[in-house]
Amino acid sequence: MEKKIKKHTNWVILIMLCVYEFFIVSFIFIIAYITIYHKYISELLTILIILILLGLFISDWILWQIKGYEIIKMNKETLTIKKKGKIFSIPENIKLSQIKNIYFKNYEAPIYMLFLKIIGIEGGKICIDYSGGSIYVGQSLTNEEALECINEMNEYWHEACNPCLVQV
């Protein structure tokens, strides 16, 4: 089973991120110019590296807003969740035997994770509880789409974990 969930673009966040990226790139050019032509290499090199890394992370978030989608893939042994359309993406692999429950729940972000929920990096409407914690997917789904996806995932999960069960 494979589900592909397209991330809906939040235009306000996208414009805000593009403005931030413009300022960071401007500062990178200014600091690079000062570093090269005025020989302040040791003082400004760390600032330049930090700005470049910050620019990469903001570029990653911009790409997620524009072309992001989540892929939920289930086979007989594992559930894999990938975020595509980003620079930095690590797939989450969960063994089906470790899954405790798959259900509908809106992600309630703690205050320190609120920024990541606002820009669409964390959260979702499909909650997957497993022995290592919980993971949320399906940020852009409507409630009906999320429930449909949950039903399909639960059917596949129960068939994969209990292949010998025959429904009467």
pLDDT of residue 40: 66
Tell me the pLDDT of the chain (168 aa) as tens digits: 888 888 888 888 889 999 999 999 998 888 888 777 776 676 677 888 889 999 999 999 899 889 988 998 988 888 899 989 888 888 989 888 888 888 898 888 778 777 777 777 788 888 888 887 888 888 888 889 889 998 988 888 888 776 545 454
- Domain formed by 2-6+70-161, architecture: Roll (2.30)
pLDDT of residue 22: 94
pLDDT of residue 15: 92
Pick the closest to residue 13 from 54, 50, 63 (CA basis). 63
* Six-digit token string for 66: 């524009």
pLDDT of residue 163: 58
pLDDT of residue 166: 44
pLDDT of residue 20: 92
Question: What pTM, to 2 d.p., does this model score?
Answer: 0.77
- Residue type (1 letter), 3: K
Helix (H) or strand (E) holding 118: helix 114-118
pLDDT of residue 168: 45
**Are 80 and 92 a contacting pair, CB within 8 Å?**
yes
End-to-end CA distance of the chain: give it in Å, rounded: 24
Domain range annotation of the chain: 2-6+70-161, 11-66
φ/ψ of residue 18, rounded to 5: -65, -40
Euclidean distance between CA atoms 70 and 80, whole angstroms: 10
Euclidean distance between CA atoms 51 and 28, whole angstroms: 6
